[in-house]
Amino acid sequence: MISELQVTKWVKRYVEAWRSGEAKDVAALFTADAEYHEQPYVTDWIGRPAIVEGWLSREDWQQGGWEFEWSILAINGDTAAIEGTGTYAELGTFANLWTVTLDGRGKCGMFRMWNTQVEN
Protein backbone atom coordinates (compact mmCIF):
# COMPACT_ATOMS: atom_id res chain seq x y z
CA MET A 1 0.00 0.00 0.00
CA ILE A 2 1.36 3.41 -0.96
CA SER A 3 0.59 6.58 0.93
CA GLU A 4 -0.63 9.99 -0.16
CA LEU A 5 2.76 11.37 0.92
CA GLN A 6 4.62 8.92 -1.37
CA VAL A 7 2.41 9.85 -4.31
CA THR A 8 2.80 13.57 -3.62
CA LYS A 9 6.59 13.25 -3.47
CA TRP A 10 6.65 11.29 -6.73
CA VAL A 11 4.47 13.79 -8.62
CA LYS A 12 6.55 16.71 -7.32
CA ARG A 13 9.71 14.94 -8.56
CA TYR A 14 7.97 14.32 -11.92
CA VAL A 15 7.22 18.02 -12.30
CA GLU A 16 10.77 18.91 -11.23
CA ALA A 17 12.17 16.49 -13.84
CA TRP A 18 9.95 18.03 -16.53
CA ARG A 19 11.32 21.47 -15.55
CA SER A 20 14.96 20.40 -15.38
CA GLY A 21 15.04 18.31 -18.55
CA GLU A 22 17.88 16.31 -16.99
CA ALA A 23 18.13 12.62 -17.88
CA LYS A 24 19.18 11.72 -14.32
CA ASP A 25 16.04 13.36 -12.89
CA VAL A 26 13.79 11.45 -15.29
CA ALA A 27 15.58 8.16 -14.70
CA ALA A 28 15.26 8.54 -10.92
CA LEU A 29 11.46 8.39 -11.22
CA PHE A 30 11.22 4.94 -12.82
CA THR A 31 12.18 1.32 -12.19
CA ALA A 32 14.57 -0.31 -14.66
CA ASP A 33 11.72 -2.20 -16.38
CA ALA A 34 9.08 0.53 -16.11
CA GLU A 35 6.42 1.13 -18.73
CA TYR A 36 5.13 4.57 -19.81
CA HIS A 37 1.96 4.64 -21.89
CA GLU A 38 0.05 7.66 -23.14
CA GLN A 39 -3.16 8.04 -25.11
CA PRO A 40 -4.22 9.31 -27.61
CA TYR A 41 -0.61 9.80 -28.73
CA VAL A 42 0.13 6.06 -28.65
CA THR A 43 3.25 6.44 -26.57
CA ASP A 44 4.61 3.09 -25.40
CA TRP A 45 8.04 3.47 -23.85
CA ILE A 46 9.27 0.26 -22.22
CA GLY A 47 12.27 0.34 -19.89
CA ARG A 48 13.98 3.26 -18.19
CA PRO A 49 16.30 4.13 -21.14
CA ALA A 50 13.36 4.35 -23.55
CA ILE A 51 11.40 6.49 -21.09
CA VAL A 52 14.30 8.90 -20.65
CA GLU A 53 14.90 9.13 -24.41
CA GLY A 54 11.21 9.68 -25.18
CA TRP A 55 10.78 12.21 -22.40
CA LEU A 56 13.79 14.27 -23.49
CA SER A 57 12.54 14.27 -27.10
CA ARG A 58 9.63 16.43 -25.90
CA GLU A 59 11.77 19.27 -24.58
CA ASP A 60 10.45 21.64 -27.26
CA TRP A 61 6.97 21.36 -25.71
CA GLN A 62 8.21 23.60 -22.92
CA GLN A 63 9.07 26.56 -25.14
CA GLY A 64 7.43 29.74 -23.91
CA GLY A 65 6.78 28.29 -20.45
CA TRP A 66 4.17 26.04 -18.84
CA GLU A 67 2.26 25.35 -15.64
CA PHE A 68 0.88 22.14 -14.18
CA GLU A 69 -1.80 21.76 -11.50
CA TRP A 70 -2.73 18.36 -10.13
CA SER A 71 -4.54 16.45 -7.40
CA ILE A 72 -4.78 12.87 -6.21
CA LEU A 73 -8.15 11.29 -7.03
CA ALA A 74 -7.66 7.90 -5.36
CA ILE A 75 -5.10 5.42 -4.09
CA ASN A 76 -5.72 1.69 -4.33
CA GLY A 77 -2.92 -0.55 -3.11
CA ASP A 78 0.21 0.43 -5.01
CA THR A 79 -1.56 2.53 -7.65
CA ALA A 80 -2.69 6.16 -7.56
CA ALA A 81 -5.07 8.00 -9.89
CA ILE A 82 -4.10 11.61 -10.48
CA GLU A 83 -5.82 14.37 -12.43
CA GLY A 84 -3.91 17.31 -13.78
CA THR A 85 -4.04 20.27 -16.10
CA GLY A 86 -1.00 21.28 -18.11
CA THR A 87 -1.01 24.70 -19.71
CA TYR A 88 1.72 25.27 -22.29
CA ALA A 89 2.29 28.72 -23.81
CA GLU A 90 3.02 27.22 -27.23
CA LEU A 91 0.71 24.17 -27.24
CA GLY A 92 -2.43 25.03 -25.28
CA THR A 93 -4.14 23.42 -22.29
CA PHE A 94 -4.37 19.68 -21.70
CA ALA A 95 -6.47 17.72 -19.20
CA ASN A 96 -4.58 14.68 -17.89
CA LEU A 97 -5.62 11.53 -16.07
CA TRP A 98 -2.74 9.40 -14.79
CA THR A 99 -2.47 6.06 -13.09
CA VAL A 100 0.87 5.58 -11.40
CA THR A 101 2.01 2.30 -9.85
CA LEU A 102 4.85 2.73 -7.35
CA ASP A 103 7.16 0.14 -5.85
CA GLY A 104 8.36 0.06 -2.23
CA ARG A 105 11.16 2.51 -3.03
CA GLY A 106 8.83 5.13 -4.51
CA LYS A 107 9.76 4.41 -8.14
CA CYS A 108 7.17 4.04 -10.84
CA GLY A 109 6.83 0.68 -12.58
CA MET A 110 3.73 1.51 -14.62
CA PHE A 111 2.64 4.96 -15.81
CA ARG A 112 -0.47 5.50 -17.89
CA MET A 113 -1.72 8.89 -19.06
CA TRP A 114 -4.82 9.93 -20.92
CA ASN A 115 -4.17 13.36 -22.36
CA THR A 116 -6.88 15.56 -23.90
CA GLN A 117 -6.34 19.00 -25.37
CA VAL A 118 -9.03 21.34 -24.03
CA GLU A 119 -7.77 24.69 -25.39
CA ASN A 120 -5.46 25.72 -28.17
Asked whether the predicted pLDDT for residue 63 surpasses 80, the reply is no
pLDDT interval class at 65 (50, 70, 90):
confident
Q: Which domain holds residue 14?
A: 4-119
Domain count, the chain: 1
Q: What is the model's pLDDT at position 41?
A: 84
- For residue 86, the domain's CATH number is 3.10.450.50
Q: What is the tens place of the pLDDT at every residue in 91-114?
A: 889 999 999 999 999 999 999 999
Q: What is the tens place of the pLDDT at every residue in 8-50?
A: 999 999 999 998 999 999 999 999 999 999 999 889 999 999 9
Please state the pTM of the whole predicted model.
0.92
* DSSP assignments along 44-72, one per residue: EEESHHHHHHHHHTTGGGGTT-EEEEEEE
